[in-house]
Amino acid sequence: MTLPLLRLGLVLLIGLHGASAFAALAGKRPNIVFFFTDDQGYGDISAHGNPVLKTPNLDRIRAEGVRFTDFHVSPTCAPTRSALFTGRHEFKNGITHTILERERLTLKATTLAQVLQGTGYATGIFGKWHLGDEPEYWPSRRGFTEMFIHGAGGIGQSYPGSCGDAPGNKYFDPAILHNGTFVKTKGYCTDVFYAQATQWMDAQRKAGKPFFAYIPSNAPHAPYIARPEDKALYDGKVPNDQTASFLGMVHNIDQNVGKVLAKLDEWGIAKDTLVVFMNDNGGTAGTSVFNAWMRGAKGTAWLGGTRASSFWRWPGTLKPADCGVLAAHIDFFPTIAEITGAKLTDEVRRQVEGRSLVPLLENPAGTLPDRVQFTHLGRWPKHSDPNLAKFAMCSVRNPRWHLVSPNGGKEPKWQLFDVKADYSEKDDVAAQHPDVVKQLAAAYDQWWTDVQPLLVNEKVVGPKLNPFAELYWKQFGGGPTEADYQRMDPTKPWPAPGGETKKKAKAK
């Protein structure tokens, strides 16, 4: 299929979905619980073959639902989150990084939460937002009726400009922003988020209102701080303490997921609730144990940097099965919109470039037209020309082929892999298939041109004080320390996501 015909097929397909052609699931309006983890790779689940980690509750969701086995997200945190909630590639949302104002979701976008709120759903977020810490970007202004979040990309993180959490926040007893006011919580962060979400869901259930509960834990993102009893399960079984802590954090998530599933059963609403589980990018600390035979990890355009779990469980409605159709984060918005019967405006329809997965949820053995997906790590130095990094850690993917430029710049260094035969991406076959390289490279060039006008955060200058810190000090007293001022100074070295210190000009 040529690219013009492919695009035409996608337009026709989306048009059919807009007309609710697949009526069996369309408009059924279930409750929705969306579990979303941070830096947990595809291989960090026991059912995927991990030889050490045990995740019985995630395994249960997988076993009882539809599993998308070739599902892909972005290489890092904020980009994936923006694609999920807008139905389009992160660059079209202005997001090209995870910090430095380049993680802010453009205010011109309509979010899935806004759409659900407009159709009568109660909408709650409990955990990591990471799409802008200034008040106008908060989830409470983007469609969530309940907001219980930390700032930045992780608890305790702080960067020059607007991206930062409450000062001095820790994984235990964190200060959490609850509907605009900080509350000082007790307990381990993941336990706190899941307990708050469960309490909120119970209240919506009692009020008879359908709900969308989004639970994006900051765990198991670095720093790897687990509850001691969770870490102890993996001490001595993995290469180092960091990995033991990481797996302990995943274990804790799994236990919390199990508690929510038990509550759905106890409340008698399991058959009225769609449960979705996903992770936000490729693996991190867990890859030293198991990476599901893939090349690459978080921060790369290899399959190991983008392949994610995508489990959809709805007892009595969805039949458990694998689905191997190429799917992506941008498909989440139109799928949920169709299931909830949301009426999308023409403007929102133009925004959404993903396609509904409803026909595959109904028939996992079915097919959809071939598609092309684009990945770019972003993260070029602030205020630099993006075109100088056009081919730095990027890729183009269709169902069979993966064209990757892992270390280009202004010019590409393309490698080609037949992922149907070589999912581990060991054999570069670009020389044998120049026509495929030419076709996919042309698609990439057109995509790059299309996204340039939408990179709206590139020249933004952030505030001197990040808004979470400012609000925290206003509420509880105190003020910035010398260390705080150094973090706020964009001329000073800043700590990159993950903990290490990098010079600003060398941002990865």
Output the domain CATH number for residue 223. 3.40.720.10
Residue 496 pLDDT > 50: no
Percent of the chain with pLDDT over 90: 88
Report yes or no on 309 lying in a domain: yes
Residue 110 pLDDT > 80: yes
269: burial class by Cβ within 10 Å (0-12, 13-18, 19+)?
A: middle
What is the structure's pLDDT at 507?
37
User: What's the number of domains the chain is made of?
Assistant: 1
Please choose, from the candidates 402, 499, 26, 60, the residue with its C-alpha nearest in 3D space to the C-alpha of residue 259.
60
Report yes or no on 472 lying in a domain: no
Report yes or no on 183 lying in a domain: yes
Report yes or no on 446 lying in a domain: no
CB atoms within 10 A of CB 255: 17
- Alpha-carbon span 296 to 223, nearest angstrom: 21
Task: State which amino acid sits at residue 256.
Answer: N
| Contact assessment for residue 310 and residue 364, using Cβ atoms and an 8 Å cutoff | no
Report yes or no on 310 lying in a domain: yes
pLDDT in tens, 298-334: 999 999 999 999 999 999 999 999 999 999 999 999 9
- Alpha-carbon span 353 to 364, nearest angstrom: 21
What is the structure's pLDDT at 180?
97
| Containing structural domain, residue 264 | 26-362
pLDDT in tens, 71-90: 999 999 999 999 999 999 99
Tokens of 505: 């000009």
- Alpha-carbon span 226 to 58, nearest angstrom: 18
pLDDT in tens, 166-215: 999 999 999 999 999 999 999 999 999 999 999 999 999 999 999 999 99
Report yes or no on 195 lying in a domain: yes
Q: Residues with Cβ < 8 Å from 253, sequence gap 6 or more? A: 35, 37, 40, 58, 190, 217, 219, 220
Please choose, from the candidates 264, 262, 279, 310, the residue with its C-alpha nearest in 3D space to the C-alpha of residue 66.
310
Report yes or no on 158 lying in a domain: yes
What is the structure's pLDDT at 4?
38
pLDDT band at 490 (very low <50, low <70, confident <90, very high): low
Q: Is the peptide bond before 480 cis (omega within 30 degrees of 0)?
A: no
- Alpha-carbon span 139 to 145, nearest angstrom: 8
